[in-house]
Structure 1
């Protein structure tokens, strides 16, 4: 017997912010976009805070922030896990 969920999973808007006043380019990359370094550019707001909103289906997603050619972790999110490169990725849980 196949059990299928009714309807579509409800998507949720998730807001990301990263403070980097001297940065030239900032991108959000993670398991939600196959770690693309170009798919989700963040937009600079006054004061040097970069922002990006994504609409995601429920699940757990690993991510990092790509700032001027260097990986950075999100200091506003304490959730993380080890990655295969000896570092850590942040985790966002969408419920």
Structure 2
């Protein structure tokens, strides 16, 4: 008998325009804040994209661009984190 997962997941694409960047990762509470676990790839237009299957829920995240942690400029939802700066907020339904 197969065990059903109670949480549904949805494929989420993160994208960021950073044509001069050498490396971009996505870190959030959905991947234990490990940017190396979700690295983005750059297209010819300088847009970095990364996709992940994320369970339904509300998550905080940031992009890591060449070592600098930044909020997602394409995400209007933000919250203050424990460091006094902002995190982007992702809601997966």
Fold agreement, TM-score > 0.5: yes
Gaps of 5+ in 1: 1-5
Residue 63 of structure 1: aligned partner = 61
RMSD of aligned alpha carbons: 1.2
Pairing 1:3-22 to 2, within 5 Å after superposition = 8-22=6-20
Deviations along 1:41-77, one digit per CA (max 9) or x if unpaired, are 1111111000011111110010000001101110110
Residue 92 of structure 1: aligned partner = 90
Residue 35 of structure 1: aligned partner = 33
Going from structure 1 to structure 2, the CA distance change for 1:28 and 1:7 (only over 3 Å counts) comes to closer
Separation (CA, whole Å) in 2 of partners of 1:91 and 1:13: 16
**Count, aligned residues:** 90
Residue 77 of structure 2: aligned partner = 79
TM-score by length of 2: 0.91
TM-score by length of 1: 0.89
What's the offset of the Cα at 1:10? 1.9
Gaps of 5+ in 2: none
Q: Which runs of 4+ in 1 moved over 3 A?
A: none
Residue 3 of structure 1: aligned partner = none
- Structure possessing the higher radius of gyration over alpha carbons: 1
What's the offset of the Cα at 1:91? 0.5
